[in-house]
């Protein structure tokens, strides 16, 4: 199933997965929503005392990454799709030093060089498939997380980061023209606080936006 954005589709991604009301994951979800609503993004991503790391990361992935981050990236990328085309972005990159090739290990086993729009479509379709997989992200009460959960979660977040990196490096001027800069910065800041709190993305992967990350997070240290 293809993942389409903004002007290319009127649909917004809505994950099939729902966290059952009354479950422990549901209580964690309500806690996350409450702290996010406080306006303190650093506090919103911190692990509540006595809680399981896998479960907390899953709740944040299912709630914020699937629903919030996906929809935010959908909207933000959708605003600049006229600028991100096969012709303007023949490769998926984040500045001249960083180029990304796509592979999912299943349908495309060897990394392929493709345009940014194609890469992002592959990426979002793949992420949605992971989040819809009950063996990876169980929604039923009492079903344990698989041993490879953290590995999959890290890969999802690492690949989502690349969309932010591409937008900042290749399309920031249109973002400013469209007055989406504040929205983009807030979305990315929340994302970065989450991955930093639990060391979910290797520092080398964050290198394309390291200067921006330091600038956005320095005031909250």
Are 74 and 13 spatial neighbours (Cβ–Cβ below 8 Å)? yes
Tokens 């959960």 correspond to 149
State both tokens at 153.
Answer: 């979660």
Four-residue CA torsion sign, 129, 131, 135, 136: positive
Q: Consult the annotation and say whether 114 binds a ligand.
A: no
State both tokens at 150.
Answer: 């953290």
Cα separation, 156 vs 184, whole angstroms: 19
Tokens 């345009």 correspond to 115
State both tokens at 37.
Answer: 């609503």
Q: Consult the annotation and say whether 169 binds a ligand.
A: no
- 103 alpha carbon, distance to own chain's centre: 17
Q: DSSP for 29-46? A: HHHHHHHHHTT-HHHHHS
Q: DSSP for 175-204? A: HHHTT-HHHHHHHHHHHHHHHHHTT-S-TT
Q: Which residues contact 215 (CB under 8 A, 6 or more apart)?
A: none
Binding residues: 84, 89, 166, 171
Binding residues for Zn(2+): 84, 89, 166, 171
């Amino acid at each position: 199933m293809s993942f389409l954005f903004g002007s290319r589709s009127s649909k917004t991604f809505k994950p099939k997965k729902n966290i059952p009301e009354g479950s422990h994951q549901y209580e964690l979800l309500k806690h996350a929503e409450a702290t996010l609503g406080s306006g303190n993004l650093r506090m919103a991503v911190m692990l509540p005392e006595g809680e399981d790391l896998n479960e907390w990361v899953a709740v944040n992935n299912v709630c914020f990454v699937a629903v919030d981050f996906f929809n935010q990236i959908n909207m933000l990328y959708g605003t600049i799709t006229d600028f991100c085309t096969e012709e303007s972005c023949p490769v998926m990159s984040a500045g001249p030093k960083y180029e990304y090739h796509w592979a999912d290990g299943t349908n495309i086993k060897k990394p392929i060089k493709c345009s940014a729009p194609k890469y992002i479509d592959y990426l979002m379709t793949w992420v949605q498939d992971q989040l819809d997989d009950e063996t990876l992200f169980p929604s039923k009460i009492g079903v344990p997380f698989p041993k490879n959960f953290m590995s999959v979660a890290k890969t999802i977040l690492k690949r989502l980061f690349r969309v932010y990196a591409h937008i900042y490096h290749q399309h920031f001027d249109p973002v400013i023209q469209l007055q989406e800069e504040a929205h983009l910065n807030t979305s990315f800041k929340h994302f970065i606080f989450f991955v930093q709190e639990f060391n979910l993305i290797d520092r080398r992967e964050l290198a394309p936006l390291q200067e921006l990350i330091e600038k956005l997070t320095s005031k909250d240290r």
